[in-house]
Structure formats: structure tokens, C-alpha cells
A and B are shown apart, each in its own frame.
Chain A
Amino acid sequence: MADQGSYLYAVAGPLPDAVVDGIRGIDGAAVRPVRDGDLTAVVSTVDLADFGEESLRQHLGDPEWLEAVARAHHGVVDEVARHATVAPLRLATVCADDNGVRDRLGRWRDALHRTLADVAGCAEWSVKLYPSPPDDPDRAGEAEPDALSGAEYLRRRKAAVTHRQDAAQTAAAVAEDVHGELSRHAVAARRLAVHDPRVTGSATPMTLNGAYLVADGEADLFRTAMAALAERHGDTRVEVAGPWPPYSFVTVEPA
């Protein structure tokens, strides 16, 4: 087997050389177009010592390597997305050579055309919600139980539990409301898995990790809607990020 492979970042329609000229990918390698008919794959050469199946498996467990490759992958996709509609590929899609790339383009032609048509003229926006921490009836149930009568302790305990449940229900309802409203301003919408609180560092769990495919011409409306929602739910922290290339909307779902 050759010791180099062709790493795929994204697929686009017809793409002038000028769009990819000068872009650097993983390990600083020059990015190039590989064409089959009217489809263009955005590709760079990688060392199979790093991207062979076995070494890749090991590398993926190395967070520094993973971060560098993920950022490089995203950097290329992002740069091309500034100029053209792209369908990003998942990390670490490697073919043995450019003929392998053309072969994939040919075999996936129809699906790729459909996907590119779906996301044409759109970008992805990310919206995350975190409810504010509940206020402290919580504590009332837990503090100084010795100082309370049994009945009073139980009453407070129950109130605290109810309060927490109410807060959770409210937070869930806010997430529903926001997601529903934003979906109306989007071509497509998905709720992604929420991130673990241990890594978000937030005092309260993320209640919405929404991804919205928004037409470029509607982006201002989308943001206006988001601002109105943030106003309506003033005690919910909102994080908006975008525009992203449409990663979350080119996923090939199981049949």
C-alpha cells in the first residue's frame, strides 16, 4: 500500500481552482480540488503513517492530535463554505488516492447532488440554552434539619422537590418554545444531544442544543427572532454561534 492517502474535507459542485488555492489543511498540506463531472471534492494528501486504520485509531485517543486535526478539518470546510455550497464530510474520510476519491464521487453522485441542493444558500446556526440556577427553597429543605420538627422538615423537603421539578419543567418548556419558534425561521432544524455539565462548566444543565439551517437571506430574521425569545425568557442564558457550514444537515440518516 502506498504511504500517502487523499483526505476528503468536503464536497461541492463545480468549484474554481481559485477557491481552494492557498488553503492549507491537515499538517499544513496544500488543499486541491478533485473533480468528477460537476462534483468537486476538496482534498489534501495525508501520511498513512498517521491516517492508516490502526494509527488513526490510536491517534483519535490523543486529544491534542484530535484537536489539531478537527480544527484543520473545520478550517478547510469553513474557508470553502465562504465561497460555495458545501457538504462537509465527517472527520477522517481517507481514500487511497485521487482515483478513489473520484470513484466515491461517482457512486454517491445522486445523494451528493440532493444534499447540496438541500443546503444551497443556507448556513447552520447553533443555539444553546442554559436555565438560571433555581433559587433557594432547595436549601430550605436541606439546611438544619435538626432545628425543624419532622413534619416541617418533610413539608419543606417536599416543597424543595416540587420546586426543582417545576424549574426543570419550566426549563424544558422554554427549550421547546425556543426550538419551535426558531424552527419556523429555519429551512430545517435538529436538536443535538446536550453537552455534559461537567464540560460546559455551567451551573445548570444545557436544555437545548439546537442546530438550525437558515437561508442566508433569512439570517437577520432568525437573529431578530432569537433576540425576541431571549427577551421573553430573560432568565435563560442563550448562546448563539454561527454561521457554520451545514454539518448537521448533510448527515446521511439510516434508511
Chain B
Amino acid sequence: MADTRDRAPATRPYGSGVAGHGLAGSQLAGAPQPADLADILERVLDKGIVIAGDIRVNLLDIELLTIRIRLLVASVDKAQEMGIDWWRRDPMLSSGNGSGPDRRREVEDG
């Protein structure tokens, strides 16, 4: 891989969350759209570096939350429409499908 560090473009084409952009002729989702909430939640809740802050919710709670989020990641409105508004009533909704969440968790260091 070439060293890309010096290239450092002033502006990278980030952030559009383009769906199917530039992939003509295949069955891709149509128009460009803003980054999907599902993708954002998946990444900000379950990915990214974990640095123990001074204040941090217990990781087990985060995990439980992540499991639940997986059920409704497409959109909150849609989840409500579909009646899986677990936050209103069910404190222990199971993940409910075979694929299940990714159980790997990062160790909290510090």
C-alpha cells in the first residue's frame, strides 16, 4: 500500500452516506440518502474506541441496550409503527432472532 499520509486532502468526500452511488446497472438502492440511523447507531454504540471515562455507564447496560437497538435500528418511527417500542414497556425484551447480536465486547481498560 502506498503511503497515503502525505496526501492529506483538505477535504475528503465524507459523510454523505451515499447508497448505491456510482454503481450503475445493479440493483442498488436508489437515490443518495442521509446516513441511515441504523448504521449510525450500530457504529456509535457498538464500534469505536472504548476509553474509560470518569463517568461511564456500566458496560453491561450498554450491552443490553445494544441488543435492543439491533431490533429497531432501522428507525425509531418504524419501530414504533411496528409496535416494538420496547422502551415503553418491556425491560427485558429478548433479542428474539437466531442471528442474535454480536456478543463480543471490548474490555474496558482503566
Contact = CB atoms under 8 A, between A and B. Distances in A.
B92 interface: no
Contact of B49 (A87, A96, A231): A87
B48 A91 contact: yes
Contacts of A236: 27
Contacts of B4: 120-122, 215-217
B30 to A, nearest CB: 10
Given A70-B44, A90-B47, A251-B48, A120 B53 contact: no
Interface in B1-41: 1-5, 7-15, 17-29, 35-41
A52 interface: yes
Interface in A49-66: 51-53, 56-57, 60-64, 66
A82 to B, nearest CB: 5
Contact of B44 (A5, A74, A87, A122): A74
A62 B109 CA distance: 27
Contact-residue bracket for chain B: 35 or more
Given A61-B87, A241-B17, A96 B97 contact: no
B39 A241 contact: yes
B48 A88 contact: yes
Interface string A67-88: 1001101100011011110011
Nearest to B70: A196
Given A227-B23, A253-B106, A82 B14 contact: yes
A232 B72 CA distance: 31
B2 to A, nearest CB: 7
Interface string B68-98: 0011111110110010110100000001110
A240 B82 CA distance: 25
B57 A70 contact: no
13 contacts: A5-B54, A53-B55, A71-B37, A88-B49, A94-B54, A121-B4, A121-B7, A123-B14, A196-B71, A216-B9, A241-B19, A247-B44, A252-B49
Interface of A: 5, 8, 11, 48, 51-53, 56-57, 60-64, 66-67, 70-71, 73-74, 78-79, 81-84, 87-96, 100, 104, 107-108, 112, 115, 120-123, 126, 187, 192-201, 205, 215-217, 223, 226-227, 230-231, 234-245, 247-248, 250-255
Interface of B: 1-5, 7-15, 17-29, 35-58, 61-62, 65, 70-76, 78-79, 82, 84-85, 87, 95-97, 99-102, 104-107, 109-110
